[in-house]
Amino acid sequence: MGNFQIRTDLALEARESYGEADIKIRGVDVEERADEEREIYTTIVRIETENGAKAMGKPVGTYITIEAPNMSTPDEGYHREISEELASHLQHVLNRYASEGRCRDSVLVVGLGNREITPDALGPDVVNNLHITRHMIREYGQASFVAEGSREVSAIVPGVMAQTGMETLEIIRGVVQETKPSVVIAIDALAARSTRRLNRTIQISDTGINPGSGVGNHRNAINEETLGVPVIAIGVPTVVDAATIVNDTMEELVNQMDSSASMQKLGGTLGTLNQAEKHQMIRELISPHLNTMFVTPKDIDESVKYLSYTISEGLNIAFAKEK
């Protein structure tokens, strides 16, 4: 649609942009799992080839999406179940790295984002709730304060360029070179293309992350290529592009006009336009200024508080499990 681009950080939504679920994309494998009893739905998108990566607009790797309709509600029992689901997937990725000889015992958790802006404060808030163990293990030995088999955990909140004057990658790379973790886990707020996924979805990927890419504010990639160690990205969509909401609304109007004779009559002149002409009208009506606007739910303060705790608990569970 001309210069209008729908922004999303979710591989699941990139896959959905191709329409029908049964459409096969060469080099892309999709696996769906549904836990109806707990109302937790998991989709695993595996991008296996460069052709698949080009089609999806995402790097080669695995993208695990956990969706839970009630994730934004203050139900501690339900959030505990989501934390356990997150821990299970994260532990699986860490064990895979360990079997490949790429991950030993030490983990650096990076809380990306700006803690002064609520929709972007997810990463820093997650770090606030983590069980940090590196200093205790280094000082007193692993058996002194943590359970046997626990991983050595350190964390950093590097801030954003406007606060530090430095690229986030520069800060993280310096910490990695000094502390030499086996793996980096980056936590960040994401952008979605669907309002129904805001604060209800967690994505885990083994491809790293480009901070700010979902809102068009591209920074240097944080991945294994740039850091020299595996990077796992965990994120929750907290904002949606305003232009996407307008586009979806007008697309629905077009579809209703095409399918309903009464709507065509009510539409007056609009009812006489063909599909191509209606889409041209949408392109002209979506203001280019909307591409700089993003929308977040009014209860984002509470949602980020609960979600950050849910993710941090998932990490704490995963790090405490025996390898």
Domains of the chain (ranges, CATH numbers): 11-244+292-320 (3.40.50.1450)
Do 298 and 284 contact (CB within 8 A), yes or no? no
Do 246 and 214 contact (CB within 8 A), yes or no? no
Instruction: Write down the mean pLDDT value for the chain.
Output: 81
Q: What is the rounded CA–CA span in Å between residue 139 and residue 195?
A: 47
Does the pLDDT value for residue 129 go beyond 50?
yes
Between residues 272 and 222, the one the model is more confident about: 222
Out of 82-96, 193-207, 267-281, 289-303, least confident range:
267-281
Q: What is the rounded CA–CA span in Å between residue 213 and residue 190?
A: 9
Between residues 106 and 23, the one the model is more confident about: 106
Does the pLDDT value for residue 43 go beyond 80?
yes
Q: What is the rounded CA–CA span in Å between residue 242 and residue 286?
A: 10
Pairing of strands 183-192, 106-111: parallel
Q: What is the rounded CA–CA span in Å between residue 167 and residue 159?
A: 9
pLDDT at 225: 92
Does the pLDDT value for residue 177 go beyond 90?
yes
Between residues 32 and 105, the one the model is more confident about: 32
Q: How confident is the model at residue 103 (pLDDT cuts 50, 70, 90)?
A: low
pLDDT at 54: 87
pLDDT at 293: 76
pLDDT at 268: 53
Does the pLDDT value for residue 202 go beyond 50?
yes
> Which tens digit of pLDDT belongs to each residue from 206-230?
999 987 554 555 568 899 999 999 9
Q: What is the rounded CA–CA span in Å between residue 200 and residue 284?
A: 32
Q: Which of 17-26, 113-122, 265-274 has the highest mean pLDDT?
A: 113-122
Q: For residues 269-285, give the mean pLDDT.
A: 59
pLDDT at 242: 77
Does the pLDDT value for residue 270 go beyond 60?
no
Between residues 248 and 167, the one the model is more confident about: 167
pLDDT at 128: 94
Q: How confident is the model at residue 4 (pLDDT cuts 50, 70, 90)?
A: very low
Q: What is the rounded CA–CA span in Å between residue 225 and residue 216?
A: 22
pLDDT at 19: 55
Between residues 94 and 255, the one the model is more confident about: 94
pLDDT at 2: 43
Q: For residues 54-58, give the mean pLDDT.
A: 85
Total-model pTM: 0.82
Q: For residues 90-98, give the mean pLDDT.
A: 90
Q: For residues 156-163, give the mean pLDDT.
A: 90
Q: How confident is the model at residue 121 (pLDDT cuts 50, 70, 90)?
A: very high
Between residues 182 and 270, the one the model is more confident about: 182
pLDDT at 11: 79
Give the residue from 199, 205, 183 showing the smallest Cα distance to 44. 205
Do 304 and 118 contact (CB within 8 A), yes or no? yes
